[in-house]
Amino acid sequence: IPATACGGSAMLSFSQLQTQIIAVEENQTTMEVPPEPLGIKAIRVNSYLEALGLLVTHRAGISPNALSPSLSSKNWV
Protein backbone atom coordinates (compact mmCIF):
# COMPACT_ATOMS: atom_id res chain seq x y z
CA ILE A 1 0.00 0.00 0.00
CA PRO A 2 1.27 3.55 -0.54
CA ALA A 3 2.98 4.72 2.65
CA THR A 4 0.68 7.75 2.91
CA ALA A 5 -2.62 5.93 2.28
CA CYS A 6 -3.14 4.03 5.52
CA GLY A 7 -6.34 5.76 6.66
CA GLY A 8 -8.80 3.95 4.39
CA SER A 9 -11.37 1.49 5.72
CA ALA A 10 -9.75 -1.52 4.01
CA MET A 11 -6.36 -0.68 5.48
CA LEU A 12 -7.80 -0.22 8.95
CA SER A 13 -9.56 -3.59 8.66
CA PHE A 14 -6.37 -5.34 7.53
CA SER A 15 -4.47 -3.83 10.43
CA GLN A 16 -6.76 -5.69 12.85
CA LEU A 17 -5.79 -9.05 11.30
CA GLN A 18 -2.48 -10.89 11.29
CA THR A 19 -1.79 -9.47 7.83
CA GLN A 20 1.68 -8.37 6.81
CA ILE A 21 1.38 -4.74 5.66
CA ILE A 22 4.04 -3.23 3.43
CA ALA A 23 4.13 0.56 3.09
CA VAL A 24 5.74 1.73 -0.17
CA GLU A 25 7.46 5.12 0.02
CA GLU A 26 7.73 5.84 -3.74
CA ASN A 27 3.96 6.00 -4.21
CA GLN A 28 2.73 9.26 -2.70
CA THR A 29 -0.97 10.06 -2.34
CA THR A 30 -3.06 13.06 -1.37
CA MET A 31 -4.31 11.22 1.72
CA GLU A 32 -1.11 11.83 3.76
CA VAL A 33 -1.95 9.27 6.48
CA PRO A 34 1.12 7.19 7.42
CA PRO A 35 0.73 3.92 9.37
CA GLU A 36 2.55 4.92 12.57
CA PRO A 37 0.07 7.49 13.99
CA LEU A 38 -2.69 4.91 13.55
CA GLY A 39 -0.75 2.26 15.44
CA ILE A 40 -0.38 0.12 12.31
CA LYS A 41 2.74 -2.03 12.28
CA ALA A 42 3.88 -1.78 8.68
CA ILE A 43 7.15 -2.68 7.05
CA ARG A 44 8.42 0.33 5.10
CA VAL A 45 10.15 -0.16 1.75
CA ASN A 46 11.32 2.32 -0.84
CA SER A 47 9.79 0.79 -3.99
CA TYR A 48 7.33 -1.79 -5.26
CA LEU A 49 10.31 -3.83 -6.48
CA GLU A 50 11.62 -3.92 -2.91
CA ALA A 51 8.13 -4.88 -1.69
CA LEU A 52 8.05 -7.75 -4.19
CA GLY A 53 11.43 -8.97 -2.94
CA LEU A 54 10.15 -8.85 0.62
CA LEU A 55 7.09 -10.93 -0.31
CA VAL A 56 9.20 -13.51 -2.15
CA THR A 57 11.58 -13.93 0.78
CA HIS A 58 8.64 -14.24 3.18
CA ARG A 59 7.02 -16.97 1.08
CA ALA A 60 10.33 -18.81 0.76
CA GLY A 61 10.79 -18.73 4.54
CA ILE A 62 13.90 -16.55 4.30
CA SER A 63 14.45 -13.76 6.79
CA PRO A 64 14.78 -10.44 4.93
CA ASN A 65 17.53 -9.55 7.42
CA ALA A 66 19.64 -12.37 5.97
CA LEU A 67 19.75 -10.53 2.65
CA SER A 68 20.97 -7.21 4.01
CA PRO A 69 24.59 -6.89 5.07
CA SER A 70 25.18 -5.50 8.52
CA LEU A 71 28.14 -3.18 8.25
CA SER A 72 27.97 -2.14 11.89
CA SER A 73 29.19 -5.57 13.01
CA LYS A 74 32.29 -5.45 10.76
CA ASN A 75 35.64 -4.18 11.96
CA TRP A 76 37.32 -2.42 9.07
CA VAL A 77 41.04 -1.68 9.16
pLDDT in tens, 7-53: 988 888 988 898 889 999 998 889 899 999 999 999 999 999 999 99
Of 67, 26, 18, the C-alpha closest to 44 is 26
Going by pLDDT thresholds of 50, 70 and 90, the confidence category of residue 67 is confident
- Listed by start position, the domains of the chain span 9-63
44 against 77, higher pLDDT: 44
End-to-end CA gap in the chain: 42
